[in-house]
Structure 1
Amino acid sequence: MSEVVSGDMAPDFEVATDGGGTLRLSDLRGKKVVLYFYPKDDTPGCTKEAIAFSALQSEFDAADALVVGISPDGTTKHDKFKAKHALTVTLGADTDTAVAEAYGVWVEKSMYGRKYMGVERATFLIDATGKIAETWRKVKVPGHAEAVLEAVRANG
């Protein structure tokens, strides 16, 4: 598993999305994409992050950027999560963790001394040509969506 860094071409993928759709990264060329990985729907940090990105949706739209949240949860959970919190971001279902692995965010974690595999909270800004413009790893949620929006604006 290699780590994706700024300047790399973003690994292409296709995932099922909330609302019964599908999303293929290569179909979004010409648009900026904010790809944020989060561990699980409807947990405190993940909910705050999704609400923060949703609150800035119109500003991301104005900057011609699509915000996509990716987690190992399935589309049924995504639909419930979106409805419960009135989320506006697109949520992708990475149920086999292939996308998380391709981006180097499927990692060994530890809680209460127990080791397990899980998603490291991380965000990637992909420019209109499909290259990684900026990366954020081990994201802390407060202020993160605003920082990403600033980077989107700075990347033309």
Structure 2
Amino acid sequence: MTTPDAPETPETSRLQPGEAFPAFALPDADGKTHALADYAGNYVVLYVYPKDDTPGCTKEACDFRDSAPLRAVGAAILGLSRDDAGSHTAFAEKYSLPFPLLSDPDATFMKEIGSYGPKTLYGKTSDGVKRQTFVIDPQGKLVKSWLAVKVEGRADAVAAAIAADQVGHA
């Protein structure tokens, strides 16, 4: 049986660990533009999710909000969906999300990184946002990506990947 976060076949990313992550400049709910370059020198967690205030996306956002190991590694967290500023504002306020939610209404950047396109959900294939997570190192290179994400435990897994990368660069 296929679940929303477990596709029938494994996905592969166009992006490989060690490669430069594509530059982006996307607006948050307040209209402030966030560019990857703004976070130079810091780890960045970019998580792509389908829709504000839906059960899986709410669980995912709250897991990122509540992860003590992720807070401990000090990474910047950025959520990304196609939702507009009003939706992002309501979602962030409702769940006290302390990180920016970025908007890509036409999915232009999501398509570039492979986070939008054909996906299978409950046996039906259609184009849509793919729940994925990317860890970007302080030099702007991809450390690790999670494709076809399962929400449970991922925030802590992201923290572990960052901690391991930090040790590798110590």
RMSD between superposed Cα atoms in Å: 1.7
Whether 1:106 aligns to 2:125 is no
Corresponding letter in the other structure for 2:160: E
How far 1:112 sits from its partner (Å)? 5.7
On the 8 A contact 2:47/2:132 being kept in 1, the answer is yes
Q: Kindly tell me: are residues 135 and 24 of structure 1, through their superposed partners in 2, closer, same or farther at Cα, counting changes over 3 Å?
A: same
On the 8 A contact 1:106/1:117 being kept in 2, the answer is yes
Rounded to whole Å, the distance in 2 between the matches of 1:137 and 1:122 is 5
Write 1 or 2 for the structure with the bigger share of strand.
1
On the 8 A contact 2:69/2:156 being kept in 1, the answer is no
Whether 1:78 aligns to 2:103 is no
Q: Any gaps of 5 or more consecutive residues in structure 2?
A: 1-12
Corresponding letter in the other structure for 2:151: V
How far 1:20 sits from its partner (Å)? 3.0
Rounded to whole Å, the distance in 2 between the matches of 1:61 and 1:99 is 26
**Which digits, 9 at most, give the CA deviation of each residue in 1:12-40, with x for residues without a partner?**
01111023321011221111100111111
Q: Any gaps of 5 or more consecutive residues in structure 1?
A: none
On the 8 A contact 1:50/1:89 being kept in 2, the answer is no
Larger gyration radius, structure 1 or structure 2: 2
How far 1:126 sits from its partner (Å)? 0.2
Whether 1:136 aligns to 2:146 is yes
On the 8 A contact 1:60/1:66 being kept in 2, the answer is no
**How many residue pairs are counted as aligned between the two chains?**
154
On the 8 A contact 1:121/1:138 being kept in 2, the answer is yes
On the 8 A contact 1:33/1:127 being kept in 2, the answer is yes
Match of 1:31 in 2: 42
Q: Kindly tell me: are residues 135 and 112 of structure 1, through their superposed partners in 2, closer, same or farther at Cα, counting changes over 3 Å?
A: closer
Farther off after superposition, 121-130 or 94-103: 94-103
Match of 1:42 in 2: 53
Q: Given the two structures, how large is their TM-score scaled by the length of structure 1?
A: 0.91
Rounded to whole Å, the distance in 1 between the matches of 2:77 and 2:122 is 33
**Which digits, 9 at most, give the CA deviation of each residue in 1:50-102, with x for residues without a partner?**
0000112x654442310101011111110000111111121100111111111
Q: Kindly tell me: are residues 113 and 154 of structure 1, through their superposed partners in 2, closer, same or farther at Cα, counting changes over 3 Å?
A: closer
